């Protein structure tokens, strides 16, 4: 009887030890998978805030783990980030690199957030993370660097917009980040226009772009409510303005009109009318 009790006691002790090992493993694993936040390039003047969710183990083979994490990325700068690529290094508790993965960011506007899925291979669960980006000589990621560009319009004095945002008045020097941009030009008395610009990662500073605005083909009538009408101004009086738009005449109160830009037109002089001389007239 004592021998049976001793055997059962020994078995219970082994079971308890096994459960303790499992709990300790799960607790340690859970602790290593807590969310991590990194400010890039530093916490003093950060451009990006990256919050890595808990790493889930997808598979393992001969000690190498396939891990996945959802990363919440926030643009803390005042400029749109067209594209940036980072290498994420996995570090163990001794700050030794044990794995890595690639993280790509695209078209992130100021204050905008995006979630991306990060997959990486590692020989252990991450205790901490490090970010590394391909940089130029100034330490700026080539995908996030800006290049000064001189923008000229013919004629000068056109209002400039860059990707829908105010860019000043031409001529102007603007800083464009790597990627595609749209420049828009507008000036009273001229047709609005736009031009695409592609800034390469290795673009050298000192470049310029010249855009020639086309003349308006119709008169331009700007109303005080902000609307702009294009047509033919038929008449202007002290009380009203008549504009022909798509073949129909529209009359506006003079107080409704803020500004009128008339297109220069060639005036066709009618040929002189020659009255025939009657054959019966006296010479």
> What pLDDT sits at residue 217?
67
Domain boundary, last residue among 100, 133, 166: 133
> What pLDDT sits at residue 115?
92
Residue with tokens 């013919």: 154
Better-predicted residue by pLDDT, 133 or 138: 133
Burial class (CB in 10 A: 0-12, 13-18, 19+), 245: middle
> What pLDDT sits at residue 253?
92
Total of domains in the chain: 3
Task: Spell out the residues 6+ positions from residue 34 whose beta carbon is closer than 8 angstroms to its own.
Answer: 54
> What pLDDT sits at residue 96?
92
- CATH number of the domain to which 85 belongs: 2.60.40.1620
Q: Are residues 41 and 119 in the same domain?
A: yes
pLDDT tens string 11-67:
555 545 444 444 444 444 444 446 789 998 888 888 889 999 988 888 887 788 888
Does residue 206 form part of some domain? yes
Q: Are residues 193 and 223 in the same domain?
A: no
Does residue 266 form part of some domain? no
Q: Are residues 124 and 194 in the same domain?
A: no
- What is the residue range of 173's domain? 146-212
- CATH number of the domain to which 202 belongs: 2.60.40.1120
Does residue 24 form part of some domain? no
Neighbour count for residue 11 (Cβ, 10 Å): 10
Lookup: tokens for 274: 């020659």
Query: What b-and-e string marks burial along 189-223, b requiring 16 or more CB atoms within 10 Å of the CB?
Result: ebeebeeebebeeebeeeeeeebebeebebbbbee
Does residue 2 form part of some domain? no
Least confident of 91-105, 154-168, 206-220: 206-220
pTM: 0.42
Mean pLDDT of 270-275: 55
> What pLDDT sits at residue 197?
87
> What pLDDT sits at residue 50?
93
Cα atoms in the 13 Å half-sphere on the side-chain side of 267: 1
Q: Are residues 203 and 235 in the same domain?
A: no
Does residue 5 form part of some domain? no
Taking 90 as the threshold, does the pLDDT of residue 114 lie above it? yes
pLDDT tens string 171-202:
999 988 777 788 999 887 777 888 888 887 66
> What pLDDT sits at residue 135?
61
Q: Are residues 254 and 165 in the same domain?
A: no
> What pLDDT sits at residue 30?
40
Mean pLDDT of 130-154: 73
């Amino acid at each position: 009887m004592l021998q049976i009790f001793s055997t059962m006691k020994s078995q219970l002790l082994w079971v308890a030890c096994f459960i303790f090992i499992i709990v300790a493993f799960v607790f340690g694993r859970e602790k290593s998978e807590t969310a991590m936040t990194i400010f890039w390039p530093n916490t003093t003047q950060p451009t990006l805030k990256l919050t890595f969710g808990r790493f889930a183990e997808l598979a393992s083979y001969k000690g190498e783990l396939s891990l996945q994490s959802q990363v919440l990325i926030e643009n803390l700068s005042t400029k749109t980030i067209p594209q940036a690529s980072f290498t994420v290094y996995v570090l163990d508790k001794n700050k030794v690199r044990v794995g890595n993965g690639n993280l790509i960011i695209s078209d992130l506007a100021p204050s905008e957030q995006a979630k991306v899925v990060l997959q990486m291979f590692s020989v252990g669960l991450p205790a901490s993370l490090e970010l590394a980006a391909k940089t130029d000589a100034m330490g700026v990621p080539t995908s996030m660097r800006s290049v000064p560009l001189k923008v000229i319009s013919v004629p000068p004095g056109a209002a400039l917009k860059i990707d829908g945002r105010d860019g000043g008045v031409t001529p102007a020097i603007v800083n464009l980040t790597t990627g595609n941009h749209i420049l828009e030009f507008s000036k009273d008395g001229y047709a609005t226009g736009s031009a695409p610009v592609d800034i390469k990662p290795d673009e050298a500073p000192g470049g310029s772009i010249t855009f020639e605005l086309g003349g308006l083909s119709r008169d331009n009538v700007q109303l005080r409510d902000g609307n702009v009408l294009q047509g033919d101004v038929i008449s202007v009086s002290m009380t009203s303005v008549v504009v022909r738009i798509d073949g129909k005449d529209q009359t506006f109160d003079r107080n409704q009109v803020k500004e009128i830009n008339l297109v220069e037109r060639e005036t066709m002089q009618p040929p002189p009318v020659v009255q025939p001389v009657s054959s019966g007239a006296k010479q």
